[in-house]
């Protein structure tokens, strides 16, 4: 039981993610997460506006169940499995973020400055999340995948487009953390 409640090391996480991928394929489907954004658009009626979304979402009911599982799994983890939300960050990271004005660095999973409930009522906080979301939705669909579909499935099956996409992910992520975050905080 103690093991369940402790944070899991990287050498446990990597293999367990690979097991998830294995089961997804074993169950007869292609592992990935970002196609669900399109499926949810189709369910919301986007097919009336664009032929791109004229698809039968019922063929992807397995993926929607996976998404519901992700939400339930997040709830279970937050409620029962993480009694201690401290994160063993590099002291340099803590110092940097504290200097940028972040509070409680290393004591929680998500910064209040981005995921605190009061950001909903601040224009800046709202826009940070909305624009990040837009970039995630547009970018993953344009690139044809996310971390699951490209970085893990695509790289492990030795696909060149995935290598290019992952290079793109890092270009974007580095610009965001090195330049955009210091600019907006």
- Binders of other proteins among residues 129 to 168 (CB under 8 A) are 129-162, 164-168
- Considering only residues 37 to 76 of the shown chain, the ones binding other proteins according to CB under 8 A are 37-38, 40-41, 44, 46, 49-50, 52-53, 61-63, 65-76
Contact 118, 125 (CB under 8 A): yes
Residue 98 interacts with other proteins (CB under 8 A): yes or no: no
Which is it for the CA torsion 10, 70, 165, 174, positive or negative? negative
**Complex with other proteins: residue 57 or 146, whichever CB lies closer:** 146
Tell which one of 98, 103, 124, 174 touches other proteins (CB under 8 A).
174
Residues in the chain: 185
- Of the residues 98, 124, 170, 182, which one makes contact with other proteins according to CB under 8 A: 170
CB of 39 to other proteins, least distance (A): 9
Minimum distance from residue 101 beta carbon to other proteins (Å): 14
CB contact at 8 A, 5 and 83: yes
State the residue for tokens 């992910």: 169
In whole angstroms, give the CA distance from residue 3 to residue 109.
19
**106 token code pair:** 């290393």
Query: Does 99 participate in binding other proteins (rule CB under 8 A)?
Result: no
Q: Per CB under 8 A, which of residues 100..129 are in contact with other proteins?
A: 105-106, 109-111, 114-117, 119-120, 125-126, 128-129
Question: Is residue 36 at the binding interface for other proteins, with CB under 8 A as the rule?
Answer: yes
CB of 179 to other proteins, least distance (A): 10
Contacts of 133-139 with C-beta under 8 Å, sequence gap 24+, read 135/172, 136/34, 137/34, 137/37, 139/172
- Summarize the chain as % helix, strand, coil (round to 5): 75, 0, 25
């Amino acid at each position: 039981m103690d093991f369940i409640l402790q944070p899991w090391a990287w050498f446990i996480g990597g293999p367990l993610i690979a097991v998830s991928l294995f089961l997804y394929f074993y169950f007869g489907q292609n592992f990935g997460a970002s196609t669900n954004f399109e499926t949810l658009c189709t369910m919301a009626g986007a097919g009336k506006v664009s032929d791109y979304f004229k698809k039968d979402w019922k063929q992807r009911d397995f993926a929607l169940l996976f998404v519901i599982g992700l939400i339930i799994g997040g709830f279970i983890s937050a409620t029962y499995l993480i009694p201690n939300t401290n994160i063993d960050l590099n002291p340099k990271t803590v110092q940097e973020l504290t200097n940028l004005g972040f509070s409680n660095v290393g004591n929680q999973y998500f910064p209040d400055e981005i995921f605190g409930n009061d950001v909903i009522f601040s224009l800046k906080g709202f826009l940070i999340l909305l624009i990040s979301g837009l970039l995630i939705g547009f970018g993953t669909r344009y690139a044809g995948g996310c971390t699951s579909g490209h970085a893990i499935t695509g790289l492990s099956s030795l696909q060149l487009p995935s290598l290019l996409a992952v290079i793109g992910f890092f270009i974007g992520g580095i610009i965001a953390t090195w330049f955009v975050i210091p600019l907006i905080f």
